[in-house]
Amino acid sequence: MKLAGPVLVATALDDAGDEAIRQAGEIARSAGVPLVVCHVMPDLYGYRPLFPQLAEEDRAIAEAARASVAGALTHRAREVAGGSGPRPEVRIEAGSPHTEVVRAAEEIRAGLVVVGSGSHGAGASLGGVAERIVRHAHSPVLVARPRGNGTVVAATDFSDPAVPAVEAGQQEAQRRGGRLVLVHAVEVLVLPMDAPESAPTLVVSSLINAETGRAEQTLADIAKKHGGAETVVRAGPPAPSILEEAGRLQAELIVVGTHGRSGFGRLTLGSVAETVVRGAPCSVLVVRLTR
């Protein structure tokens, strides 16, 4: 993936965080950009107006804890990220985790934010933090989960915000040495009407067949522009279709696109992308349209 800035990886100092650091390190080395590892601590330094004499002691305790965590994180980041590239920079922040990660990403002009998650759902590692980072970060966000077989699934609804997702999918498939599969879901909404009982079924079937044919041709045209990627058109709601296809292919990564500078409220696929981030069996890369 082409990056215009450093890779910032957020870790909760757990196994899922290690997976995020590992994937972030691979991407940073491949793109030739710095790797910044960020951990957010609770805000240990509080304001005590009734005991001002304790302020200096509180500050010393907080700084000692910060230094201890920074040392441990530096060692862990170097060990997990590996490789022969530059040593990762370590940032220790204090406060609300998702707020501090997003702020740090903006401060360093991150080209990508990577956050850890478990095997299913964004809540497995950083709780709701991973989901909030996806929702509010201005840069692309990778929700990292243990890898699969190298297959990259790029979901497209044929809108402008889906274009960067397909492009990022192609670049990631090349970097990972895997295949790229473009997925489009055909969902036909049929309103109630006065007709014989068999008519709605015939109408729905006819509409789905016609729409599927058009989608297959459009997807084939897109695939030609991206190295002859494989294409899959599925009938049904988009989110389950994307997740089921990724599961069937044992995919390593799903790529979806968004519009605008901030997350789920402006996702191209609306709540579809949010559902994919929460329920994917693999890593999910959320890419934003910037033009």
- Looking at 81-85, 112-116, 207-211, 239-243, which range is the least confident one? 81-85
Confidence bin at 181 (pLDDT 50/70/90): very high
Q: Please give the pLDDT value at position 123.
A: 41
Q: Are 2 and 262 in contact (CB under 8 A)?
A: no
1-145: CATH superfamily? HUPs (3.40.50.620)
- Of the segments 33-37, 121-125, 188-192, which one has the largest average pLDDT value? 33-37
Strands 253-259 and 283-289: parallel
pLDDT, average across residues 103-128: 75
Give the pLDDT confidence score for residue 220 in this predicted structure: 93
The C-alpha angle 73, 77, 80, rounded to 5 degrees, equals 135
Q: For residues 17 and 19, what is the distance between their CA atoms, to the nearest angstrom? A: 5
What is the pTM for the complete model shown? Answer: 0.84
Of residues 242 and 50, which shows the higher confidence score?
242
- The pLDDT assigned to 168 comes to 94
Q: What's the mean pLDDT in 110-125?
A: 69
The boundaries of every CATH 3.40.50.620 domain in the chain are 1-145, 147-291
Whether residue 62 is predicted with pLDDT greater than 60 in this model: the reply is yes
Query: Would you say the C-alpha torsion 140, 3, 77, 22 has a positive or negative sign?
Result: positive
pLDDT at 58 over 80: no
Predicted local confidence at residue 72, as pLDDT: 87
Of 112, 114, 122, 72, nearest in space to 92 by CA: 72
Work out the average pLDDT over 238-256.
94
Which segment of 65-74, 95-104, 225-234 scores lowest on mean pLDDT?
65-74
Between 84 and 173, the more confident residue is 173
pLDDT band (50, 70, 90) for residue 112 = very high
Which H helix or E strand runs over 93? strand 89-94
Looking at CATH, the fold of the domain delimited by 147-291 is given as: Rossmann fold (3.40.50)
Inform me whether the pLDDT recorded for 127 exceeds 50: no
User: Residue 121 has what pLDDT?
Assistant: 43
Percentage of the chain with pLDDT > 90? 44
Q: Is 144 left (phi over 0), alpha (psi -120 to 50) or beta?
A: beta
- DSSP 8-state class, residue 267: B
Q: pLDDT for 278-289, tens place per residue?
A: 899 999 999 986
Q: For 112-138, what is the mean pLDDT? A: 72
Of residues 209 and 77, the one with the higher pLDDT is 77
Provide the pLDDT confidence category of residue 23 given band limits of 50, 70 and 90.
very high
Closest CA to 22 of 31, 32, 11: 11
Band of pLDDT at residue 269, cut at 50, 70 and 90: very low
Find the length of the chain.
291
Q: What's the CA gap between 42 and 74, in Å, rounded?
A: 19
